[in-house]
Amino acid sequence: KRVAILISGRGSNMAALIEAAKDPSYPAEIVAVISNRPGAPGLTRAREAGLVAEAIDHKAFASRSDFEAALEARLEAHVVDLVVLAGFMRLMTAAFVESWAGRMINIHPALLPAFPGLATHERALEAGVRLHGCTVHYVTPGMDEGPIIAQAAVPVLAGDTAAELGARVLRAEHKLYPAALARVARGEAPIVGERVEIASGDLL
Ligand code: GRF
């Protein structure tokens, strides 16, 4: 499967996906990295890894759908099968999301449906949860709401700061995302009704 990774920032998940995709037996090929922020450090990182990395500055467009039309044109140019959001910080219109239904995935730094949105580690600490983690899910028009493909849990330790907890979650993200993308690319994460049919076997 031909994959485009969309980023907005540092791109550490992108780097983990690029690393995994170097293995010839990995079922997905990263054909492009696209950032909506021209200054995203992840773009440099992608180019250093020898990938095609492009910026489509959302500020240059009058509307969300104009930006998405430009994005769509680049996805078509790269003949992309799957879109992988990795720290992509733009909300997308329902029309765009629906046009990629079942072919666009995201990683969220919490165990959904707990803590959708921003500042997940701070909120996990405030709530006093003992387990926190990350979720890979299909993207649907509702933010952080789509069918769950895979999750990884990490403990919340006494005295954790949000930064410490976030770093622990991020290490889990870097393992989970490549494993989850492989499952999607192999067709092993089918959506049945509103859920992903759970494939047998542990992901990690
Ligand atoms: C990650 O925590 C991811 O879960 C969230 O945004 C962050 C992106 O980090 N969606 P990076 O750019 O992959 O380093």
For the stretch 90-115, pLDDT in tens is 999 999 999 999 999 999 999 999 99
Instruction: Please report which helix (H) or strand (E) contains residue 192, including its range.
Output: strand 191-192
What pLDDT is attached to residue 198?
A: 78
Structure tokens at 71: 């994005």
Confidence of residue 32 (pLDDT cuts 50, 70, 90): very high
Residue 177 contacts residue 107 (beta carbons within 8 Å): yes
Residue 41, φ and ψ in degrees, nearest 5: -60, -25
What integer best gives the mean pLDDT of the chain? Answer: 96
What pLDDT is attached to residue 132?
A: 98
pTM: 0.96
Share of the chain above pLDDT 70, in %: 98
Residue 11 among known ligand-binding residues: yes
- Does the pLDDT at position 200 exceed 90? no
Can you tell me which atom of ligand 1 is nearest the CA of 7? 12
Residue 87 among known ligand-binding residues: no
Q: How far is the CA of 111 from the centre of ligand 1 (A)?
A: 14
